[in-house]
């Protein structure tokens, strides 16, 4: 029997946030229907998923109330679009870090009235949510922190600054020692920007605690990802994707606790041979561009076609949590340097050369027990699209079944993708 689930509404709250309430009021119902079809239609879900379901139920209400309460206490609320933004500094300031990447087609037409049509759907979706006043998370932030990982982003930030204060972090395009020095200076500038909001200086003790909190969060996700690699897997790829998306807007300490509670349940499931799918189920790894909520299209197609997603090499995936920060820094400069070193290990396709990412994909593929790799790329994301050439070549050398997919947020290509993915799964099964 399907559980009672409804994405909640609060028009009074949305009016306080100066949202387009009339237009936005339809969104919770749409999200409710999609969520029921994609997530609640699954059988034998772990009981601990109830918490993550409740996070989606309260995404436009209860979580917004928590964020506004923090803001009323003078704590900074900072929106981000990239895993390169150092959350530890926000945490050290007692702040709230909110991921604002757009994963919906809903506001793309709004953005295309200003931005070119031939740029990344994620950029258009996020920009569209702000200019149309259609995102309560966006409406609640003190400022947003963009970065220069792609041309579409770094030019859009110039326009976004007209609607919300937008700070930009320069991300070097290589990983040499001189690039590290530049990156450290950018991190220091970000720290100064956060300190300006709170009106005080972040000290070493607070930053060490911020590092410890985010390390713990990432270690919880590492544990969870390791458990899903068990064959047969105790959790679906759809549920894992959802958890990774929620990681970008939940309270870190609470999220960490709930992920460990889920892991405890999954360990018992593994011991008792209580999987979500039989051991014969084809296992797929996904790599490539991130999938911001509510972009669940690819995972939904794969798993409704009879396979299971067992790993995501993505910014909403292992790139976000595979590395932690060394905790042996003895001064503020030491801590900031070690923090920067950890962020430099993230293998975004904006870097050149970027062979470390190819090696990382192969390492994760082997660890996950996958039987095929689907490289997912959003339309017009040129760096990932081009890097897929080298990834395909590496998979061919290793004898790994490989398929590249380019898509956007619209439902128009669902039928075509389903046909291709079903054929890929048949290929794996032999």
pLDDT-derived band at 423 (thresholds 50, 70, 90) equals very high
Number of C-beta neighbours around residue 268 at 10 A = 12
| 233: helix, strand or coil | coil
Which pLDDT score, from 0 to 100, does residue 430 have? 79
Query: How far is the C-alpha of 327 from the C-alpha of 349, rounded, in Å?
Result: 28
Query: How far is the C-alpha of 163 from the C-alpha of 278, rounded, in Å?
Result: 50
Inter-residue contact 182 to 170 (CB < 8 Å):
yes
Rounded mean pLDDT of the chain?
97
To the nearest 10°, report the CA torsion of 219, 223, 224, 227: 170
Query: How far is the C-alpha of 224 from the C-alpha of 243, rounded, in Å?
Result: 10
Query: How far is the C-alpha of 360 from the C-alpha of 146, rounded, in Å?
Result: 26
Kindly give, in sequence order, each residue whose CB lies less than 8 Å from that of residue 371, ignoring residues fewer than 6 positions away. Answer: 282, 283, 284, 401, 428
Number of C-beta neighbours around residue 41 at 10 A = 13
In the predicted model, what is the mean pLDDT of residues 407-420? 97
pLDDT at 2 over 80: no
Query: How far is the C-alpha of 243 from the C-alpha of 133, rounded, in Å?
Result: 26
pLDDT-derived band at 1 (thresholds 50, 70, 90) equals very low
Looking at residue 423, the DSSP 8-state letter turns out to be: H
First to last CA, the chain: 35
Number of C-beta neighbours around residue 218 at 10 A = 20
Q: Kindly state the percentage of the chain with pLDDT values over 70.
A: 100
| Model confidence pLDDT, tens digit, residues 200-229 | 999 999 999 999 999 999 999 999 999 999
pLDDT-derived band at 270 (thresholds 50, 70, 90) equals very high
pLDDT at 148 over 70: yes
pLDDT at 132 over 50: yes
| 151: helix, strand or coil | helix
What is the pTM for the complete model shown?
0.97
pLDDT at 162 over 90: yes
Cβ burial 330-356 (10 Å sphere, 16+ → b, else e): eebeebbbebbebbbebbbbbbeebee
Number of C-beta neighbours around residue 160 at 10 A = 22
């Amino acid at each position: 029997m399907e559980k009672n689930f409804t994405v909640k509404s609060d028009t009074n709250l949305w009016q306080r946030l100066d949202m387009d309430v009339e237009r936005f009021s339809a969104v919770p119902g749409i999200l409710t229907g999609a969520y029921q079809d994609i997530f609640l239609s699954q059988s034998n879900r772990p009981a601990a998923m109830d918490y993550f379901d409740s996070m989606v139920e309260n995404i436009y209400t209860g979580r917004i109330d928590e964020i506004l309460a923090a803001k009323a206490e003078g704590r900074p609320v900072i929106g981000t679009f990239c895993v390169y933004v150092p959350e530890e500094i926000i945490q050290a300031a007692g702040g709230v870090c909110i991921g604002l990447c757009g994963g919906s087609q809903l506001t793309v037409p709004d953005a295309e009235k200003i931005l070119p049509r031939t740029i990344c759907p994620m950029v258009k979706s996020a920009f569209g949510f702000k200019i149309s006043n259609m995102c309560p998370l966006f409406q609640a932030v003190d400022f947003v922190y963009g970065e220069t990982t792609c041309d579409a982003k770094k030019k859009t930030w110039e326009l976004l600054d007209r609607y919300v204060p937008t700070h930009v972090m320069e991300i070097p395009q290589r990983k040499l020692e001189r690039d590290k020095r530049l990156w450290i200076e950018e991190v220091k500038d970000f720290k100064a920007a956060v300190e300006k909001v709170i009106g005080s200086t972040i000290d070493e003790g607070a930053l060490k605690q911020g590092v410890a909190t985010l390390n713990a969060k990432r270690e919880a996700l590492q544990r969870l990802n390791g458990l899903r690699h068990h064959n047969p897997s105790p959790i679906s790829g759809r549920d894992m994707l959802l958890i990774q998306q929620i990681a970008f807007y939940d309270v870190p300490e609470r999220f960490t606790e709930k992920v460990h509670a889920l892991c405890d349940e999954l360990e018992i499931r593994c011991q008792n041979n209580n999987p979500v799918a039989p051991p014969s189920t084809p296992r797929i790894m996904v790599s490539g561009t991130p999938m911001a909520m509510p972009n669940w299209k690819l995972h939904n197609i794969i798993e409704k076609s009879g396979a299971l997603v067992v790993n995501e090499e993505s910014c909403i995936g292992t790139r976000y949590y595979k590395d932690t920060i060394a905790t042996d820094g003895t001064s503020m400069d030491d801590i900031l340097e070690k923090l920067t070193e950890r962020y430099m290990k993230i293998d975004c396709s904006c870097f050149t050369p970027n062979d470390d990412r190819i090696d990382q994909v192969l390492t994760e593929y082997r660890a996950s027990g996958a039987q095929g790799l689907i490289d997912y790329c959003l339309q017009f994301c040129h760096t990932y699209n081009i890097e897929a050439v080298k990834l395909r070549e590496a998979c061919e050398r290793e004898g790994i079944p490989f398929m590249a997919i380019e898509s956007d947020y619209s439902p128009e290509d669902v039928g075509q993708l389903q046909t291709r993915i079903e054929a890929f799964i048949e290929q794996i099964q032999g």
